């Protein structure tokens, strides 16, 4: 049943894969929904299904988030609807191959969707969240936010943007009631593999998670107060060490002296 107090969860890329499961789970938690993607028919079917299943109100907004006018349309909805309490920036695409050979238009499309739209929509929703001192922003990165295969260079770079942007927002909003989480999935069964032209069937099935498990683990991480959630990483000390070294290295580099290995000193 719709719980009016929960407000509205906005999920981009809700027509498939991970976004579709987020839509189901937020509806299950009693949120009304606003589902965003390009495929109107898919959004319509999912909207009907979730309204019947959970009795929540589900609106849809057809938008290509790589298009400026569509981004502005979604952004102004995020900025003006005071019932919006959750934004999941999930829509994303994967362009893979040799950087010297991939058509630049495909790389630009990927940057626009994976990095620019996440930034734009976060900025659209945050003033309202801050004003109300509540709200949850979830940005979907990837384990490729901190690793690049020779064929995933620009995808990885776009996801690196999502990770550091989300960590930065978390720090900016530390003294507010606004929650921020970066979710970093590893291989997950979805259409993205088909879209990118990489067959998921070529992967070891032991390395590929279901979208249900991915989203349920990510939401458990959110409930546990995590800022960065790696659903498939068993040993969390690996992330903690990486994060601590990242911060320590930044502070260690705050000096006017060139490092001695460059031989500038006497
Ligand atoms: N699957 C994995 O292995 C994996 C691993 C790490 C991270 N991720 C990340 O997880 C997120 C979800 O991916 P997924 O695996 O669920 O992929 P997916 O099944 O291909 O779903 C992608 C979603 O994004 C939407 N989308 C694509 N282009 C769009 C555009 N221009 N404007 C608006 N919406 C657009 C698609 O809907 P329409 O086509 O209807 O627009 C679809 O709903 C992405 O950010 C992806 O990078 C996935």
Confidence (pLDDT) at 3:
75
Residue with tokens 């995590």: 226
Ligand 1 mutation target, pool 11, 12, 15, 17, most atoms within 8 A of CB: 17
Task: Give the pTM.
Answer: 0.97
Question: Both tokens of residue 25?
Answer: 């789970």
Q: Which atom of ligand 1 is nearest to the CA of 39?
A: 40
Domains of the chain, residue spans? 8-262
CA angle (12, 57, 191) in 5-degree steps:
30
Q: Per-residue pLDDT for the chain (266 aa), expressed as one digit of tens each?
A: 777 789 999 999 999 999 999 999 999 999 999 999 999 999 999 999 999 999 999 999 999 999 999 999 999 999 999 999 999 999 999 999 999 999 999 999 999 999 999 999 999 999 999 999 999 999 999 999 999 999 999 999 999 999 999 999 999 999 999 999 999 999 999 999 988 988 899 899 999 999 999 999 999 999 999 999 999 999 999 999 999 999 999 999 999 999 999 999 76
Of the candidates 31, 155, 165, 189, the residue annotated as catalytic is: 155
Ligand 1 binding residues, C-beta < 6 A: 12-19, 37-39, 42, 63-66, 90-94, 113, 140, 142, 185, 187-188, 190-192, 195
Helices (H), the chain: 17-28, 40-54, 68-80, 104-111, 117-132, 153-172, 192-196, 211-223, 236-252
Q: Which fold has domain 8-262?
A: Rossmann fold (3.40.50)
The DSSP-derived string for 170-239 is HHHTTTSSEEEEEE---SB-STHHHHHT--GGGS-GGG-B-HHHHHHHHHHHHHTT-SEE-TT-S-HHHH
């Amino acid at each position: 049943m719709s719980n009016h107090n929960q407000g509205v969860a906005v999920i981009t890329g809700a027509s498939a894969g991970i976004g579709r499961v987020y839509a189901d789970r937020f509806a299950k938690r009693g949120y009304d929904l606003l589902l965003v993607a390009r495929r109107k028919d898919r959004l319509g079917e999912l909207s009907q299904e979730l309204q019947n299943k959970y009795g929540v109100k589900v609106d849809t907004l057809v938008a290509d988030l790589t298009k400026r006018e569509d981004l502005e349309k979604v952004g102004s909805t995020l900025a003006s609807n005071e019932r919006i309490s959750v934004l999941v920036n999930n829509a994303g695409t994967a362009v893979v191959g040799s950087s010297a050979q991939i058509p630049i238009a495909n790389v630009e499309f990927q940057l626009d969707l994976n990095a620019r739209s996440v930034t734009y929509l976060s900025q659209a929703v945050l003033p309202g969240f801050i004003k109300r001192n509540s709200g949850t922003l979830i940005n979907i990165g990837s384990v490729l936010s901190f690793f690049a295969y020779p064929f995933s260079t620009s995808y990885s770079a776009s996801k690196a943007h999502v990770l550091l942007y989300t960590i930065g927002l978390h720090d900016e909003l530390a003294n507010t009631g606004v929650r921020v989480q970066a979710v970093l999935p590893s291989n997950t069964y979805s259409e993205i593999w088909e879209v990118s032209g990489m067959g998921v069937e070529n992967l070891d099935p032991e390395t590929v998670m279901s979208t249900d498990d991915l989203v349920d683990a990510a939401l458990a991480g959110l409930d546990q107060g995590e800022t960065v959630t790696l659903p498939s990483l068993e040993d969390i000390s690996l992330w903690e060490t990486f994060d601590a070294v990242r911060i320590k290295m930044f502070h260690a580099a705050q000096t006017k002296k060139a490092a001695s290995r460059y031989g500038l000193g006497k």
